[in-house]
Structure 1
Amino acid sequence: MATFFGEVLSVYSRAVEEEDREDEDENEEDVEIRRELEEKRTVHLKWCPEVSQEKLLCSHLIIAAGTNAAGFVSTFILNPARWHPVGWMALWNERNKGSGVLNSPPAPGEPGCVIYQQKEGGAVLICQCTCYVAEDQLFQWTEKLFAGLQKRGLTVTVLSDAPIAEYKTADYLHGRDIPFLCALKTSAYKEVVNSPFLDQPNIVTGLPAAVLCHCEVHGIPAVLYQNYSDVISADSVTMEAYKPALTSTKSVKLEPPSTAILQKFTRGFDVHDNLYT
């Protein structure tokens, strides 16, 4: 601080001194609680016993994030005769209390992240994620998933759900069919994109954004298809809107829709999708 005569005086902030004192007074119990909480929020990747190699060879990774994205891959792709589960991600947070079991994959119908492999050739993996991944777990999730894969020759496709209320446009979607797809890609992705690009000022957040950022940093070709819908739960029309994203993909074959699986995803939501219940 300078005086009226230009003399420089050293001044200490009492507020800073008090904060430093509080940090020093932090007891061992607080440190232990914080450490236990960090351990509890750790994301775990568990491979099935038959997966023996250190890193899976993979030419195409499809990540389905959200109820309708997961419903689409289950209904149109994951035929049990062609696919089998090879691993899962286990995590716990305030909105996802049941998916932190490391020793066993999520039970059918429970939120979770399950990884499937194509039986013939095994070059394609699908990660079906229906659980909530918190902000402080996104980096862990992406790092651990990609750490288990060979990145050479890898292409990534992300399918993501998004509410139409988050879509920003000047023309109020006049004349536009809902649901609809918008895409983002990394600079390394050179293939055809089968939907319009996401225009400004719209942004992508959460797990899809974390995956796309990871791929951009590591030079992995990746494309994200965000599905904007006016429903908040599983819906057959919203699921089918994902079809253009994978119709030109040679490594994945779209199956005739499974009515039983479609009903499993949509059952129980019709009553709750209105203002009065």
Structure 2
Amino acid sequence: MATFFGEVVSAFSRAVEEDDEEELDEDEEDSQIRRELEEKRQVHLNWNPAVCDALKTGDKLTCSHFILAVGHNASRFLSVYVLASEKWDAVGRASVWNEKNRPGSGEQSCVFYRHRDEPSVLICQLTCYVAEDQQFQWAEKVLDCLEHRELHVAVLSDSSVADYKSAEYLGGNSAPFLRSLHTTTFNGPPVCPALEQPNILTGLPAAVLNHCQVHRIPAVVYQCFTDVIGTDSVSMETYKPALVNLGPSIKLDHCPSSDALQKIVRTRDPQSNLYI
């Protein structure tokens, strides 16, 4: 702008500079919030002292079979038909924080069990929600703790029959049923039909299978499609064929007691039913 004496000076706007400073402060604040949120959403593995000592020395856990159960039916199937033998010890937990899951809130959790007589057999029951940005991280952190040389991975996963796509009509008695998808290095006997196209795996089972495919780990996912909301004993039994050929250390209790089933299977609350 020009002064009365003809001198030309640059225009100065204090408002513009203040706005720039405010935007810079907001960017720094947003970055700090983003870093804190990313740190909070990290997957944390908490092993017992013996496992921690082994991992600290750089040794990975010797594991021949890693069985992961994702969902309430899959997890409770293992509780009733496998873990009830009392030959399993809890050796660790995974802590996952996200918008749907708060560690320490109720029964939702992720627990690792190891067989007393066969320490190379590891089971994980996962009933908590793992968000999309945490799934690859979960698979990488857990599987990197295990020795890959003799490792075989089996994933049991719950799914709604409404998510199943088929050209044929599914009758009322078709569900529950089992489908599988495996890596190219898996050569086990088929215990159920393969998952037909255009169906795809999603969520943590897909992340685990993808990790195993990249690292050439024999792995298979058994997906149970059910039409029952919540825990169901019939849906749980659908997983039986998936564990029959996993070796002598995985012994199924084919006839669990009715008390064990009643403790696991929840009774529906009539008060929560809109139509009653």
TM tier, shorter chain? 0.7 to 0.9
Tell me, in whole angstroms, the C-alpha distance in 1 between the residues paired with 2:272 and 2:187: 39
Q: Which has the higher helix share?
A: 2
- Residue identity matched to 1:70: S
Tell me, in whole angstroms, the C-alpha distance in 1 between the residues paired with 2:32 and 2:172: 57
Task: Report the equivalent of 2:54.
Answer: 53
- Residue identity matched to 1:116: Y
TM-score of the pair, normalised by structure 2 = 0.84
Tell me, in whole angstroms, the C-alpha distance in 1 between the residues paired with 2:196 and 2:22: 47
Task: Report the equivalent of 2:192.
Answer: 195
Larger radius of gyration: 2
**RMSD between aligned residues:** 2.3
Task: Report the equivalent of 2:36.
Answer: 36
Give the unaligned 5+ runs of structure 2: 1-20
Shift of 1:165: 0.3
Shift of the 24–38 alpha-carbon distance from structure 1 to 2, 3 Å rule, reads same
Alignment counterpart, residue 72 of structure 1, candidates 57, 74, 77? 77
Q: Secondary structure in 2 aligned to 1:79? A: helix
Matches within 5 A, 1:123-134: 123-134=120-131
Conserved in 2, the CA contact under 8 Å of 1:74 and 1:261?
no
- CA offset digits 1:63-100 (Å, max 9, x no partner): 0000000010000000352111001100111110235x
- CA offset digits 1:222-275 (Å, max 9, x no partner): 011000000120111100011011122223110242434422332243647866
Tell me, in whole angstroms, the C-alpha distance in 2 between the residues paired with 1:253 and 1:181: 20
Q: Which 10-residue stretch deviates more, 73-82 or 188-197?
A: 73-82
Task: Report the equivalent of 1:135.
Answer: 132
Task: Report the equivalent of 1:262.
Answer: 261
Q: Secondary structure in 2 aligned to 1:263? A: helix
Matches within 5 A, 1:112-261: 112-174=109-171, 177-250=174-247, 251-255=249-253, 256-261=255-260
Tell me, in whole angstroms, the C-alpha distance in 2 between the residues paired with 1:60 and 1:79: 18
Tell me, in whole angstroms, the C-alpha distance in 2 between the residues paired with 1:195 and 1:180: 9
Conserved in 2, the CA contact under 8 Å of 1:161 and 1:226?
yes
- CA offset digits 1:167-206 (Å, max 9, x no partner): 0111122486310000001000011020000101111100
Task: Report the equivalent of 1:92.
Answer: 97
Shift of the 124–22 alpha-carbon distance from structure 1 to 2, 3 Å rule, reads farther
Conserved in 2, the CA contact under 8 Å of 1:71 and 1:239?
yes
What is the total number of aligned residue pairs between the two structures? 250
Tell me, in whole angstroms, the C-alpha distance in 1 between the residues paired with 2:116 and 2:237: 24
TM-score of the pair, normalised by structure 1 = 0.84
